[in-house]
Chain A
Amino acid sequence: MKPDPGRFLEIAAQQLMGTIGPALPAGYAQSSVGLLAVMLLEVKTELERAAARRVEENRGLRGLFAESLPLVTDAALRDRLDAAARGEDESLLASALERGNAALRGLLIELHAHVETLDSPEARRVEDAIWAELAASTERRRLALGPF
């Protein structure tokens, strides 16, 4: 599809910032247009990586769940982790990947809370792996204009 959707958003943002915004009186409307331009640029970033970051993360979470199974003492949680670990993304539409990602991250919260209650070197290893995944997940979602 040409023009590329990302390029389209970039040009739209440039026009908002360079032409349309300055033509408005200073104040609420002009500032809103500036913010809208910023949002379009961040949408461009998200558009580009939407499927990739979710597929990568979903794959990583399933691997983490599989790795943690021998450690989990709660049978019901173990069954759900096992089922999730064996699952796969059935569609590459961003909305479908997002639903799958939300389910996996909800399960990650349960696994994390469970592992925190266990006292063994293996539990600490899995806990470290969970923290590493959480740090990586914020990097995947990072936006250029975020303040930190």
Chain B
Amino acid sequence: MPSPTETPPLIHARGLTKRFGEFTAVDAIDFDVAPGESFGFLGPNGAGKTSTMRMVACVSPVTAGTLRILDLDPNADGPQIRGRLGVVPQQDTLDTELSVKDNLVIYGRYFGLSRAEAGRRGDELLDFAQLTERAKDKVEPLSGGMKRRLTIARALINEPSILLLDEPTTGLDPQARHLLWERLYRLKQRGVTLVLTTHYMDEAEQLCDRLVVMDKARIVAEGSPRELIEQHSSREVTELRFPVGVQETLDGQLDGLGERIEQLPDRVLVYSDDGEAVAAVAHQRGLQPETVLVRRSSLEDVFLRLTGRSLVD
């Protein structure tokens, strides 16, 4: 695997900015994506992830800054770049009046594939998306998970250099999400470069080699999931949930517990390297939480630390 220093990055952004009138959706962000990498944008709704993805997908003009994709300029070579991207948009754009297979074939035609070639690739991709039995069915009655898999299959019809996924599993039930992650993981194993946005920390942890945390149009941290947790959080978290009304009366009693304390509306998070020890100390101090949960730090905690807010409201 070539290292990022040897090959030019597939995506190169410096001071990348998107404004809609007075509103700044993306505020001078820098990032690079190397070939074969899985790169994520993690952040809450409205952080600027989708606007960034749309610029990378060459469907939204860059307001300011530098953006190079596949060493080409989106302004000048948009159609050519788009020819080498696979796009899985946040909202399904499948043609619900056409069959599953037709959706793949006509999409292949947009990339200049012959009907025969588009059909051949379509069959393989239906197999990959586990939709072969539904090839002749209309899209409309498919489940949400099936539609997402079809959208991903469609995005692969041109054998893209980069697969862009905007919130790929939002709105899916847990089983459908896991199936989708498994398929995406397979693509990653095959060396497909994935770029995805998500506001699910577990998705970011599962799929991303490296990610940036976005908040209010800016990148606030960058690294692998593990690095981010090490840098911005402790090893473990002790969650203390008190009976209604009690948490507000605890002033001072929590001081010195663990390395750091976050008070959420419904619970107290205590960050430390040893969560069980914190729980024990809390009991010694006579605190009587209703429930105590000790867990490992996650990207959710990183986000809370960096922005003072939760990822999912």
Do A and B form a real pair? Answer: no
